Amino acid sequence: MEKGTTLTRFIIEEHRQNPDLEFTGLLAELTIAGKIIAWEVNKAGLAVTMALTGQTNVPGEAVQKLDEFANANIIKTTDHDMTP
C-alpha cells in the first residue's frame, strides 16, 4: 500500500486480496456517509451544523444538529431493509 492511498482505493484493494471479507460493503457505505457529512459541514459551516437541538443524549450531553444529521445519514447509507 502506497502512502496517500484513499480509503476507497484501500477498500477495493483489500477486497481484491480477500474476496471473502464481509465488511467491504459496510466500509464503502460508511465512506460514502462520511463524505456526505463532510460535504454538509463544509457547505453550511460549523456554526450552523454545531447548533444545539435542545435535546440531550443518553450520557446527558447536549445533542447538536450535526449529531442528528450524521446519525440519519449513516443509518440511511447502511440500511439494507429487504422487506417488500
pLDDT value at residue 1: 56
Contact in structure between 45 and 56 (CB atoms under 8 Å): no
For residue 6, what pLDDT band results from cuts at 50, 70 and 90?
A: confident
**Which residues form the domain of 67?**
8-16+28-78
Local structure of 30: helix, strand or coil: helix
The residue that leads in pLDDT, 40 or 1, is: 40
Positive/negative CA dihedral, 69, 41, 76, 61: negative
Residue 3: inside a domain, yes or no?
no
Domain count, the chain: 1
Stated pTM of the model: 0.61
Residue 84: inside a domain, yes or no?
no
**CA distances, 80 to each of 11, 37, 83 (Å):** 20, 20, 9
pLDDT value at residue 83: 55
Q: pLDDT tens, 39-67? A: 888 887 766 667 888 899 899 998 988 88
Q: How far apart are CA 66 and CA 70, in angstroms?
A: 6
- Residue with grid cell 474476496, as numbered in its chain: 19
